[in-house]
Every structure is written in C-alpha cells, then in structure tokens.
C-alpha cells in the first residue's frame, strides 16, 4: 500500500507495513498537513488499497491533527452508489473528529472498473 503525505507544499511517499498506519502517526508528529489514500481495484501492480476508509479509520485513531484524505474515490455510474460513498466519508469524518478531505473521480484505467460489472 502506498500512502501520500502533503506538508509544506511537498508531496512525500511512504510504504506502509501491512497496511499499518505507523507512517501516518510519524507524519502527524512531524506536523505534516495531510495524508491521502487512493482507491484502486483489480490492478495487479498496485491494487492494495481497495477500502481506503478502513486504512484512514485506523489512522484516525492513532493520530491527533493530520487531515485524512480520500485521494480519489471512483464513483462512475454503476460502480459505487454515491449515497454509500457519502455514508463512508461521513462516518470517517465523525470518528476522526472532522479531519476528512474528500476527492472523487473516475477509474484511471478501464481494468479498474471491470470487476464491478
């Protein structure tokens, strides 16, 4: 899983250890502004983040101030219902104390959306 951090205008990248949010804890302590988790599905090379909300929820419980961002949540018609996406984002915003950032878009590649029908 790859997680992007933003702080002081410079993007940083960190590899997580089995999805554990330890790099996010460190980023929080160092004063990094935000962490962004990007949703990927059905891609062999980097589909390690199919449930961004789970990773971000875990990170929210181990951090105090860092903003938690959904890099891109794919919501084209028939892929994920927008109401369910809104529920996930809202629940994370509640459990994180209002620290959620949200971005939506379409899958980068057609293969990303093939598994959904």
As a 3-state breakdown, the chain gives helix, strand, coil percent values, each rounded to 5, of 30, 25, 40
pLDDT, position 89: 94
Report the mean per-residue pLDDT for the chain: 76
Q: Which residue has the higher pLDDT, 109 or 97?
A: 97
In sequence order, the 6+-apart residues with CB closer than 8 A to the CB of 51 are 39
pLDDT digits (tens, 9 = 90+) for 11-45: 444 444 455 578 889 999 999 999 988 776 666 66
47-69: pLDDT as tens digits = 567 778 888 999 999 999 999 99
Query: Within 10 A of 9 (CB to CB), how many other CB atoms are there?
Result: 6
**How far apart are alpha carbons 113 and 75 in whole angstroms?**
10
91 pLDDT exceeds 70?
Answer: yes
Strand, coil or helix: what is 63? coil
For 4, list phi and psi in degrees, rounded to 5.
-100, 140
């Amino acid at each position: 899983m790859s997680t992007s951090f933003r702080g002081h205008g410079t993007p940083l990248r960190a590899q997580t250890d089995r999805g554990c949010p330890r790099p996010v804890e460190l980023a929080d302590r160092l004063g990094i502004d935000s962490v962004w988790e990007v949703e990927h599905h059905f891609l062999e090379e980097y589909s390690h983040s199919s449930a961004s909300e789970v990773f971000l929820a875990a990170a929210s419980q181990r951090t105090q101030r860092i903003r938690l961002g959904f890099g891109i949540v794919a919501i084209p018609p028939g892929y994920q219902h927008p109401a369910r996406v809104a529920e996930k984002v809202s629940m994370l915003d509640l459990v994180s104390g209002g620290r959620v950032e949200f971005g939506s878009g379409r899958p980068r590649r057609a293969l990303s959306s093939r598994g959904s029908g």
